[in-house]
Structure 1
Amino acid sequence: MFSDLTKLDLLSNAIQIAAGGTEDPRIQRYHAKKIEMDTQPLMPVFADGFSLGEGPLSISVRRCALTVISGRAINAEKKDLNDIAAAPVNSDVMIER
């Protein structure tokens, strides 16, 4: 979660982390099975770039419900797409309004 960060701040932070730097202290990370968020005043809510409207939001995680595509680390000089395979992951995010 983050607040008071511009898009440029987020981009700069992503580049800094990719270069081995530290994360901006204004970005907070949590582990939870379910969270509920509410803002005063109402603010727009986005998830992965999609607008979810405004107002209260409940997000929960379902185990073993998501399959993602991943692969081994690929040598920068030789990219082999055959190394990529679907693999089950132990969680899925469920957003309720």
Structure 2
Amino acid sequence: MAQAPENTVVTDNPAQSRYEIHADGDLAGIEDYTTSGDVVSFNHTEIYPAFEGFGLAAILVRQALDDLRARGLKVHPVCPYVVKFLDKHPEYQDLIS
């Protein structure tokens, strides 16, 4: 079994319309999005197989939502994972468009 990553970094990659999570320096997953005005649609969350089971999807979505909040943007949750995440985290309800 793989060891849990010690360091994670989430960054926006607007050239590819996605947030990326890097674990110990390796690309571990993505959150694909599209943008319309001040609304960002989170379309697909994917954690790559070697990095599954460490809670990275939650870290990715939480930090992406925090980034939207800091930028004054809203989210339109399309991805089922993001929909569930938002249901479980009422502190992000104000971001839903």
What TM-score, normalized by structure 1, do the two folds share? Answer: 0.23
More helix by share: 2
What is the TM-score normalised by the length of structure 2? 0.23
Highest Rg: 1 or 2? 1
